[in-house]
Amino acid sequence: MMRALAIGGFLTAVLLFAAVEWAARREGSRIPSLADVCAFVMRYEVGPVPVGRIGLFGFWWWLGWHFLAR
């Protein structure tokens, strides 16, 4: 029962990601695509340090390591 709840919850989240991305790609949509959100986050800098870029690259590398190397 709890296992089905977890699977259902994660499936819902994945479907919501797909639905929001789909809505963002519709013509005239005010919702930015996930790529635009990431690009906006990566613009964040503290002085000369591209903190947003380093943070997002680090997160994505960690995600790959977590799922594909361990």
Partner 1 sequence: MDHPPELTAEAPRVWDRPVVSVPVLICLSLVGGQLPSFSTAANLYILGTGGGLIWVGLSNRVPRRPAPRRLSSAALWWLLPVTVFGVFEGATFVLSVGDEFPTFSRLADPLLEDHLARSAAWFAWLAAFWGLVRR
- The CB density around residue 15, as the number of other CB atoms within 10 Å, is 10
Binding mask 46-65 for partner 1 (x = CB under 8 A): ----x--xx-xxx-xx-xxx
**Token pair belonging to 42:** 């990566």
List all residues 6 or more positions away from 54 whose beta carbon is below 8 Å from its beta carbon.
none
One residue of 22, 25, 37, 45 binding partner 1 per CB under 8 A: 37
Side chain identity at 29, as an amino acid letter?
Answer: S
22 touching partner 1, by CB under 8 A: no
In the structure encoding, which two tokens stand for residue 7, read together?
A: 């699977």
Q: Which residues bind partner 1 (CB under 8 A)?
A: 2-3, 5-7, 9-10, 12-14, 16-17, 19-20, 23, 29-32, 34-40, 42-43, 50, 53-54, 56-58, 60-61, 63-70
